[in-house]
Amino acid sequence: MTMTDNIITPELVALDANFGGTTTEVITNLATLVQGAGRATSTDVLAGDALAREAKSDTGVPGGVAIPHCRSEAVTQPTLAFARLDPAVNFGGPDGDANLVFLIAAPAGGGKEHLKILSKLARALVKKDFTAALRSAETKDEIVELVLNVVNAAPKKATAPAATTEATPAPEASESSAPSNDVTRIVAITACPTGIAHTYMAADSLTQTAEEMDGVELVVETQGSSAVTPVASEVIDAADAVIFATDVGVKDRERFVGKPVIESGVKRAINEPKKMIEEAVAASKNPNAYRVTGGNGSAEASADAEGAQLGWGKRIQQAVMTGVSYMVPFVAAGGLLLALGFLFGGYQVADVAESVVKDFSLSNLPGTIFTEDGEQVSRTGLLLYLGAVLFATGQAAMGFVVAALSGYIAYALAGRPGIAPGFVGGAISVTVGAGFIGGLITGIIAGLVAMWIGSWKVPRIIGSLMPVVIIPLLTSLVVGLSMYLLLGRPLEALMTAMQDGLKGMSGSSAIVLGIILGLMMCFDLGGPVNKAAYLFATAGLSTGDDASLKIMATVMAAGMVPPIALSVATFVRKNLFTPAEQENGKSAWLLGLSFISEGAIPFAAADPLRVIPSMMLGGAVTGAISMSFGTTSRAPHGGLFVFFAISPFWAWLVAIVAGVIVSAAAVIAMKQFWPNKAVEAANKKAETQPVAA
């Protein structure tokens, strides 16, 4: 029996089932099927992961179909759960409610072979005959047979040398490298954040639409979670236009330099494939159309191409978020190592770590030593040596924070040629004292300059040197001169003023800052506002000053409040929550204790008007109390489990408990005095009938 033979079984199918009226209920019921079949260790964890993915973007697609999907630690083997719903539920699809819903559940650490299987299903869902068969099937066994026929089907063989990942090119796509007058050749890239479903659905949607259009040949490269086979260079050379339908950066974007480009999110390729192809055809005939440059930029465009590409503001915003996402692992690893260093070596380890690591070893452990101020270090021997090693390692990781932020902002804007100048700019920012503000500025400058230089038209003999020598050299020169001659001192003064202002905050001003941070952490529960507050805290953590440590403690405490408060509320007044929310409440408290704010997303997604204000109120209370007590945290993550890095720990706990009580009371009051009819209906249904299976 192969891996695909039991990816779906009759017990994973529900026909004409009433799974509730919200996406939360439907996904939770599907997760229950998976757990009941022995494919998942926890319904709550699987449903939470799927709902967290759903919160990023709707999974409804054309044809009354929805494909919620996720990777989850709870999933033990690749699984498909299917429900034909009655009544249908709104998953944000372009043509209304969905009555065919597949939950695609992939193991978090699984290999890539099963992702290819799941991608076959996603591609089949854009075919009308397949969805019609799903709607007309009379038994669960028929559904299983239909799905297995799809996922076990042999892959189509591409006739073009541009063999793509899963998506099949038009037959004549590469028979000639020279474009003809009456045929428009298009290369498309599709990619979504998880790389499981939308990537491949967008690819097939574009491919099938192109096959129905006269005078269009299209090849798709799917940059999903399974192996990516790049489009052949000769196919790119022959292309008249490019479509980028992605929610993430395009890999090796510089391959498409000079090509007219139409750019959008991945779902537009699913919903409006014909319109995107028509725009690409028009762009291929427009000499002023947006074009790909050496990085991720564009040239000037005519009004005819309006909306074809992302605006500059959005592009820079995405670049900054990319830089933050690459920076966070440095902060998390470095910060936790610093905290462990203090745990083993004591608070004085920061003063002696460098000398201990250089002068001692496991065979020559330190005895009684003194700091530069003549103070005797309280710990000796193995504990001090291990603490110093951990602290020095963490310090090395934290030393890359600003450079990584700057480097990957530049990378998001200009591709690989931007990485080196971005890192150089970040290192200069640290040298001149401009800190993370300087890193933000140098990253943007490096990215834009590298993008501009990459757009230069140069002789072919020089072109090969552009990405590896000329662009990094000239961009690094521009960034270095800008920082040392123009921007360094003003940015250093701004950073110093901020640090001095934070250090000087006391009394009411510190409490106001705590309230603001608490509101931000609880506003979108892991979204951009939450991440902005977290970046503010972690970027300052590298300085090690007392004010920054207070901000870190406040941010972490406030971020823990929503999941814990909602868990408490579901225990205290369970009848105010749907059965699905009651199930989520059983595990949300653990997510909260671990500082995973996303544990509250299922509640907020189902009832934002009652949940989000209540959580913000509790977060503000926690932020104010944490700041007023002056609690500090040397760890950037970990919640309750890094108690050793928080001081005073009791005051930090008081702040969290107070916020939890306020948020729980507020959400109970909101739901009590402003009843939710959907909750009442779900509870009545649960009382009168079991969960459909």
* Contact (Cβ atoms closer than 8 angstroms) between residue 561 and residue 656: yes
- CATH number at 206 reads 3.40.50.2300
In this predicted structure, which of 42-56, 270-284, 302-316, 339-353 has the lowest mean pLDDT? 302-316
Which backbone phi and psi does 224 adopt, to 5 degrees? Answer: -100, -160
Same domain, 464 and 511: no
Q: Would 305 be classed as within a structural domain?
A: no
Q: What is the mean pLDDT of residues 421-429?
A: 95
Of the residues 503, 528, 559, the one at which a domain ends: 503
Q: Is residue 4 part of a domain?
A: no
Which helix (H) or strand (E) segment is 84 a member of? strand 79-89
pLDDT band with cut points at 50, 70 and 90 for residue 305:
very low
* Whether 563 contacts 611, CB under 8 Å: no
**pLDDT over 50 (residue 178):** no
- Which residue has better confidence, 16 or 308? 16
**What span, in angstroms and rounded, lies between the C-alpha atoms of 341 and 345?**
6
The answer to the question of residue 637 being in a domain is yes
Token pair 């500082």 in the structure block, residue = 595
pLDDT bucket at 617, cuts 50 / 70 / 90: very high
Residues 358 and 257 in one domain: no
- Please tell me whether residues 560 and 593 are part of one structural domain: yes
The answer, yes or no, to whether residue 657 has pLDDT greater than 90, is yes
Q: Which residue, of 255, 274, 289, is where some domain finishes?
A: 289
Does residue 522 have an active-site annotation?
Answer: no
Considering the domain architecture, whether residues 486 and 539 belong to the same structural domain is answered as no
Confidence of residue 128 (pLDDT cuts 50, 70, 90): confident
The residue with greater pLDDT, 537 or 686, is 537
The arithmetic mean of pLDDT across residues 338-358, rounded, is 84
Stronger pLDDT, 159 or 575, i.e. the higher one: 575
Q: Greater confidence, 652 or 213? A: 652
Number of domains in the chain: 4
pLDDT category of residue 307 using cuts at 50, 70 and 90 = very low
Q: Are residues 541 and 671 in the same domain?
A: yes
Place of tokens 């104010």: 624
Q: Omega of the bond prior to 78 within 30 degrees of 0, cis?
A: no
* Interatomic CA distance for residues 515 and 527, integer angstroms: 18
pLDDT of amino acid 394: 87
Q: Which of these ranges, 235-249, 359-373, 385-399, 577-591, has the smallest mean pLDDT?
A: 577-591
Shared domain for 216 and 132, answered yes or no, is no
The CATH number linked to 55 is 3.40.930.10
**Which is catalytic among the residues 69, 114, 198, 637?**
69
Give kind and range of the element (H or E) at residue 60.
strand 60-61
Q: Considering only CA atoms, which of 226, 324, 325, 208 is closest in space to residue 270?
A: 208
Question: What confidence score (pLDDT) does residue 176 get?
Answer: 37
Residue 558 placed within a domain: yes
Residue 123's alpha-carbon distances to 200, 204, 519, 622, in angstroms, are: 6, 6, 42, 47
pTM of the model: 0.53
Residue that wins the pLDDT comparison between 541 and 187? 187
The pLDDT tens digits of the residues spanning 360-410 come to 999 999 988 888 878 888 888 999 999 999 989 988 888 888 899 899 899
Is 674 domain-assigned? yes
Domain hosting 352: range is: 314-503
Residue 383 and residue 334 share a domain: yes
Chain-wide mean pLDDT for the chain? 81
63-90 average pLDDT score: 89
- How confident is the model at residue 161, as a pLDDT? 36
**638/645 Cα distance (integer angstroms):** 10
Higher pLDDT, 327 or 628: 628
140 and 216 belong to one structural domain: no
For residue 684, pLDDT beyond 70: no
Q: Are 372 and 465 in the same domain?
A: yes
**Residues 567 and 467 both lie in one domain:** no
Tell me if 164 is assigned to some domain: no
Based on the residue annotation, tell me whether 198 is a catalytic residue of this protein: no
- Within-domain flag for 172: no
Residues 487 and 338 in one domain: yes
Residue 503 has pLDDT above 60, yes or no: no
Secondary structure (3-state) at 196: coil
The residue among 370 and 141 whose pLDDT is bigger is: 141
The residue among 503, 528, 557 that closes a domain is: 503
Residue 180 reports pLDDT greater than 50: no
How many CB atoms within 10 Å of residue 654? 17
Phi then psi dihedrals of residue 348, to 5 deg: -80, -5
pLDDT of residue 678: 56
Let me know whether 347 and 487 are in one domain: yes
Residue 689 backbone dihedrals phi, psi, to 5 degrees: -150, 150
Instruction: Identify the pLDDT of residue 277.
Output: 93
Q: Which amino acid is present at 68?
A: P
pLDDT of residue 567: 92
Residue-wise pLDDT tens digits, 447-499: 999 989 988 888 878 877 888 899 999 999 999 999 999 998 998 888 777 66
Nearest CA among 100, 24, 28, 32 for reference residue 62: 100
CB-CB contact of 550 with 631 (8 Å) = yes
Structure tokens at 339: 């905290």
Mean pLDDT over residues 529-538, rounded? 76
Lowest mean pLDDT among 93-107, 114-128, 223-237: 114-128
From the candidates 114, 192, 522, 637, give the one annotated as an active-site residue: 192
Q: For residue 295, is it within any domain?
A: no
**pLDDT > 90 fraction of the chain, expressed in percent and rounded:** 30
